[in-house]
A and B are shown apart, each in its own frame.
Chain A
């Protein structure tokens, strides 16, 4: 039994060292809510104190209640019977306890009975939920649906739907994927048509819908006849009625507690969200970015759980008359796992803070149109940064998280492969994180523009200007090399001026960018804390040869795989 907040020194370190003033200022807008809402904070200190209190309660619930049920939820799973989906017993109990603790509308404004939490704090909560039970995160994390309604819905829609989400009366789903539209959502076929009186109806099938049995779904559908691309799609709010059939649920490798549904809309009445034709290009992109940040936190939580199990096991298990922890091969693995976790956490919070600033500034601009010209540049800056960092964090944390779970089984040896230990569950749950909400390959496509256009270098300049690296000259030298390698690789590819080069090296460039950004972030933390500094030293010393090898390959101009691959992989 433990509290997943109080026992996590790294989350506490970040919260204590994080400057949240700007985010709180944007979120609380002079604490005006305190005039109308009894649980609203009075000043900055009170706000941060509230965050801590919330994190402690989430830590208590996740550590002492939800984690106790995770194995059983995994074994029982969500089930399908006679057209209806049933959650596992532990899932139901967990949702009920979170509801009673008022944790189902964490990021919604207080006006709609939410907690008005910034994404940064929400990410911490999502990590803890995932550490306890990864599959529960898929249901709890669907609070993003409510966020999207909050951002793009009409006042009437917000008033009707959002308080019900915040009270936990309804759960959400996002119905985007179809059998022939996965990564390529422009191919969505599900049809939306309008009656002469203006009422919208949905017809068609969606597949791989997490919690497709939800009370309220956001459905991406083709509203414009005779269109075939993304601009013919709109987003609809659908409240479940008898016109939705759940055809089946998937039998999956992991996250058994989360039902993945195939659903069919049979002339189901719905309502338009926002403006027609903006469904994919604006609203779904926004929704997906929120969800991607959530997955970055989810994979971190699962990896944290797997690391802890492994360290505990390595301290207890004796072989050759020694604790296996004392073997170089084992302690190196565990050290890399731990550094991977803390790098993931630093990147997650960096990204969350960027998203908070972007959203906070956007809200402010909407609220005070007269100040639009003052805010425009900053909004633009953080929008671009969010567009870069969200896929970076998603790609990094899920790949590293998978590696950590893989090594966690390795450290356990044969027993790690059995259901007697938790690490096999963590590995199965983790495996989806670098696939859904956009595969790592899609995240690279999303991130590469921000890497090659120089945006990343601007951010690195900010890190250098805002921090005094004189205290750590050796680290700074390493950072400079990582940065130079990245910039050399980018300019080398740009000089070639063809799409193949960028496509071919996109993964390598993204990895170089991640080695560089993570080295900066860990080093910045290292300026405040000796242990973090040591961690930054180990991370950068391993990152440099990785970065050099990628630069060497890029500089070699060897594109032979493009011409030779057909001959190699033609035959099975």
Chain B
């Protein structure tokens, strides 16, 4: 068995951890223009697990993202950290995609890449927080999926053993290849970019590649002007136009509500420190659907 082929799916997301007052519009939707974009944190954890597998067993890591041309930034970042190749799938036709359309588009791109043993995904993105795309890709590819990984226990050339967090405890699961794995923030602390790779890749741009994916992307100095990031359109991955973008997205946003959380709610202060008071507090929490 040869070296492993690993795919990592990544997403560029608004930095929801550093929100200022201007981050939300009056209507309660996200003002993307005001938010800096970052590498989705758990996708960095996914990439780190891929890099650790590569450090141990060798192999090739291909990073893939779907997004606007600007999403090239996360692909470059992945190259800086040690990914070997990067694929951007970008097309106006992908716009407005929900998780179903996104997972279908990514599945088409992964099939075009062809060979893969492990697909690492971040558990969820900090913008949507759905945790659906990874599992949906696995379903569409009809391969094993192991979600919520907190540790890779062992990896060999033909299997991987993982520790996953469930609602009730932890499970240790082993799978052969191919397998899709979703990784949580607990799994690792991602490495930083390599300065050499930053200097090597900082000026690269993307290139639309319609020919066979097997093209060798040379990394010798003479080729420094060559383009390392492959760009594919909806047509080039053979996506069915009714399954992508807005057309392929059954999810519709019905209503957005602006919730302002405040401390020292008056109701809570009125509850006396007695057994009856605690009972009243529990009832209050149940009524507010905070638990129960």
Q: Is the CB of B192 within 8 A of A60?
A: yes
Confirm or deny: B193 has a beta carbon within 8 angstroms of a beta carbon on chain A.
yes
Is A41 engaged at the interface, CB distance under 8 Å to the other chain? yes
**B residues less than 8 Å from A61 (CB atoms):** 192
Asked if B1 lies at the interface with its beta carbon under 8 angstroms from chain A, I say no
Chain A residues lying within 8 Å of B219, measured Cβ to Cβ, are 38
B199 touches A57 (CB 8 A): no
Quick one: given A38-B219, A38-B221, A50-B199, are A57 and B193 in contact (CB under 8 Å)? yes
B34 close to chain A: CB less than 8 A: no
CB-CB under 8 A from A34, the residues of chain B are 221, 224
Q: A65: CB under 8 A from chain B?
A: yes
Assess the B192–A65 pair: CB atoms within 8 A: yes
The reply to whether A101 and B192 form a contact with Cβ atoms under 8 Å apart is yes
Say yes or no: is B130 at the interface (Cβ < 8 Å to chain A): no
A18 to B191, CA, bound (A): 31
Contacts of B199 in A (CB 8 A): 39-41, 50, 53-54
Residues of A within 8 Å of B194, CB to CB, are: 100-102
Q: How many angstroms between the C-alpha atoms of A49 and B193 in the bound complex? A: 16
Chain B, residue nearest A53 (CB):
B198
Q: Which residues of B contact A38 (CB under 8 A)?
A: 200, 219-221, 224
Known: A38-B200, A39-B200. A53 touches B195 (CB 8 A): yes
Find the residue from B192, B194, B195, B197 having the highest chain A CB count within 10 A: B195
In the complex, B196 has a CB within 8 A of chain A: yes
* Distance of B231 from chain A, by nearest CB (Å): 22
Minimum CB–CB distance for A38 against chain B, Å: 5
CB under 8 Å from chain B, chain A span 25-76: 34-41, 46, 49-50, 53-54, 57, 60-61, 65
Question: In the complex, are the beta carbons of A101 and B191 less than 8 A apart?
Answer: yes
A65–B192 alpha-carbon span in the complex (Å): 10
Judge whether A97 is part of the interface by a CB distance below 8 angstroms: yes
Partner among B195, B202, B221 whose Cβ is within 8 Å of the Cβ of A103: B195
Q: Mark B183-195, 1 if CB is under 8 A from A, else 0.
A: 0000001011111
What are the residues of chain A within 8 A of B202 when measuring CB–CB? 49, 53
B221 adjacent to A40 (CB under 8 Å):
yes
Chain A residue contacts of B193, Cβ below 8 A: 57, 101
Interface string of B153-195 (1 = CB under 8 A from A): 0000000000000000000000000000000000001011111
A288 within 8 A of B: no
Inter-chain contacts of A49 with B (CB < 8 A): 202
Tell me how far the C-beta of B31 lies from the nearest C-beta in chain A, rounded to whole angstroms.
Answer: 24
**Is there contact, CB below 8 Å, between A115 and B191?**
no
User: For residue B221, which residue of chain A has the nearest CB?
Assistant: A38
- Say yes or no: A100 contacts B191, CB within 8 Å: yes
On whether A97 and B192 interact (CB within 8 A), knowing A38-B219, A53-B202, the answer reads yes
Q: Which residue of B lies closest to A42 (CB)?
A: B224
A57-B192 in contact (CB<8A): yes
What residue of chain B has the Cβ atom nearest to residue A106's Cβ? B195
Q: Which residues of B contact A39 (CB under 8 A)?
A: 196-197, 199-200
| In the bound complex, CA of A104 to CA of B286 (Å) | 56
A306 to B18, CA, bound (A): 27
Whole-angstrom distance between the Cβ of A330 and the nearest chain B Cβ: 31
B274 to chain A, nearest CB (A): 37
CA distance A101 to B189 in the complex (A): 14
Complex Cα distance, B192 from A57, in Å, reads: 7
Shortest CB distance B13–A (Å): 18
Chain A contacts of B200 at CB under 8 A? 38-39
Q: Give bound CA distance, A37 to B193, whole Å.
A: 19
CA distance A254 to B219 in the complex (A): 46
The chain B residue with its CB closest to the CB of A36 is: B221
A418 CA / B224 CA spacing, docked (Å):
54
How distant is A34 from chain B, measured CB to nearest CB, in Å? 6
Query: Which of B191, B196, B202, B219 has the most chain A CB within a 10 Å cutoff?
Result: B196
Closest Cβ of chain A to B32, distance in Å, is 23
Per the bound structure, the CA–CA distance linking A40 and B196 in Å amounts to 9
Contact across chains for B198 and A57 when beta carbons are under 8 A apart: yes
Contacts of A115 in B (CB 8 A): 195-196
What's the nearest-Cβ distance from chain B to residue A105, in Å?
10
CB distance from B52 to the nearest CB of A (A): 11
Return the CB mask of A79-98 against B: 1 if under 8 Å, else 0: 00000000000000000010
From B195, B203, B220, contact of A102 by CB (8 A):
B195
CA distance A150 to B281 in the complex (A): 72
Q: Are A57 and B195 in touch, CB under 8 angstroms?
A: yes
Bound-state CA distance A97–B189 (Å) is 10
Closest-by-CB residue of A relative to B82 is A100
Q: Nearest Cβ distance between residue A121 and chain B, in whole angstroms?
A: 11
Cα of A36 to Cα of B189 in the assembled complex, Å = 34
* Residues of A close to B189: CB separation below 8 A: 65
Chain B residue with the shortest CB-CB distance to A103: B195
Complex partner residue of B195 from A36, A37, A101, CB under 8 angstroms: A101
Q: Which of B97-129 contact A (CB under 8 A)?
A: none
Q: Which residues of A contact B220 (CB under 8 A)?
A: 38
A53, B221: Cα distance in complex, Å = 20
A41 and B192 alpha carbons, distance in the complex (Å): 21
The residue in chain A whose Cβ has the minimal distance to the Cβ of B194 is: A102
Contacts of A50 in B (CB 8 A): 198-199
**B residues in contact with A46, CB < 8 Å:** 203
Question: Closest CB-CB distance, A445 to chain B, in whole Å?
Answer: 38
Given known pairs A53-B202, A97-B191, the reply for A102 and B221 (CB within 8 Å) is no
Tell me how far the C-beta of B54 lies from the nearest C-beta in chain A, rounded to whole angstroms: 12
Complex Cα distance, B194 from A410, in Å, reads 40
A35 touches B221 (CB 8 A): yes
| Minimum CB–CB distance for A56 against chain B, Å | 9
Which of chain A's residues 188-245 have a Cβ closer than 8 Å to chain B? none
When distances are taken between beta carbons in the complex, the residues of chain A under 8 Å from B196 are 39, 102, 115
> Roughly how many angstroms separate A39 CA and B220 CA in the complex, as a whole number?
10
Q: Which of B196-228 contact A (CB under 8 A)?
A: 196-200, 202-203, 219-221, 224
A39 to B204, CA, bound (A): 12
CA gap between A57 and B194 in the complex, in Å: 8
- Give the CA-CA distance A34 to B200 in the complex, in Å: 11
A356-372 CB mask vs B (1 if < 8 Å, else 0) is 00000000000000000
Assembly CA distance A103 to B191 (angstroms): 13
> Which residue of B is nearest A93, CB measured?
B189
The smallest C-beta distance from A356 to any residue of chain B, in angstroms, reads 19
A-B contact pairs, 30 of them (CB 8 A): A34-B224, A35-B221, A38-B220, A38-B221, A38-B224, A39-B196, A39-B200, A40-B199, A40-B221, A41-B199, A46-B203, A49-B202, A50-B198, A50-B199, A53-B195, A53-B198, A53-B202, A54-B195, A54-B198, A54-B199, A57-B192, A65-B189, A65-B192, A97-B191, A100-B191, A100-B192, A100-B194, A101-B191, A101-B192, A101-B193
Q: Other CB < 8 Å A-B pairs besides A101-B191, A102-B196, 16 of them?
A: A37-B221, A38-B200, A38-B219, A38-B220, A38-B221, A46-B203, A50-B198, A53-B195, A53-B198, A53-B199, A54-B195, A57-B198, A65-B189, A100-B192, A100-B194, A103-B195
B residues sitting closer than 8 Å to A (CB atoms) are 189, 191-200, 202-203, 219-221, 224
Q: What 9 A-B pairs come out closest when comparing CB atoms?
A: A39-B199, A102-B196, A39-B200, A39-B196, A102-B194, A100-B191, A38-B221, A101-B192, A54-B195
